[in-house]
Amino acid sequence: MEDIITTMAAQLGQVLVVLGAGLAVGIAGSGSACGIGIANETAAGILTEDPKKFVYALILLALPGTQGIYGFLIALLAINKIGLLSTAVPITIWQGLGIFGACVPIAIVGFYSAIWQGKSSAASILLISKRPDQMGKAVILPAMCETYAVLGLLMSIFLLNGIKVG
């Protein structure tokens, strides 16, 4: 029994890192899928009547996809930090908890910002359906939501860099 507890305690740090990486990819990715889905519904409506707007719509509906990429990037950095992609580095529970915490900003901010960016992109798709000449402004408006996803990404990177392992 004691052996089991000792083994668990030794591996709990790594488990926390894997959990954090999973959440970063899973939650931020879900937000992106949701956001793209919202924009997609609007794009499909416009394209039914005016298929020539496909390129404009594609650019706008791709915007909420970045949060999923950010989540994936943080997950890679997290598991790479403990050597899961090469040689595993032993870490303490506290180090594992720290890396888990570093994954949280991009998971949460990525999820919500992607959904709202999707709604914003949908509104911009409606904008370009009437005024295709306003494409620049139509991209800038949903890009404002991106700011907070980038802040979440940066904070996750800074926190990951701040945790010393090995």
What is the contact surface with another protein in residues (CB under 8 A)? 38, 41-46, 48-50, 119, 122-123, 125-126, 129-130
The first and second tokens of residue 7, run together, are: 């083994």
Query: Cα separation of 44 and 11, whole Å?
Result: 48
**Toward another protein, which CB reaches closer, 78 or 125?**
125
**Toward another protein, which CB reaches closer, 89 or 119?**
119
Q: Which amino acid is at 42?
A: T
Alpha helices in the chain (DSSP H): 2-49, 54-62, 66-81, 93-130, 135-162
**Toward another protein, which CB reaches closer, 51 or 166?**
51
> How near is the Cβ of 153 to another protein at its closest, in Å?
27
Tell me if 110 sits within 8 A of 149, measured CB to CB: yes
**Toward another protein, which CB reaches closer, 49 or 133?**
49
85 CB burial (10 A radius; 0-12, 13-18, 19+): exposed
> How near is the Cβ of 120 to another protein at its closest, in Å?
10
> How near is the Cβ of 50 to another protein at its closest, in Å?
5
29 CB burial (10 A radius; 0-12, 13-18, 19+): buried
**Toward another protein, which CB reaches closer, 13 or 31?**
31
> How near is the Cβ of 158 to another protein at its closest, in Å?
36
> How near is the Cβ of 125 to another protein at its closest, in Å?
7
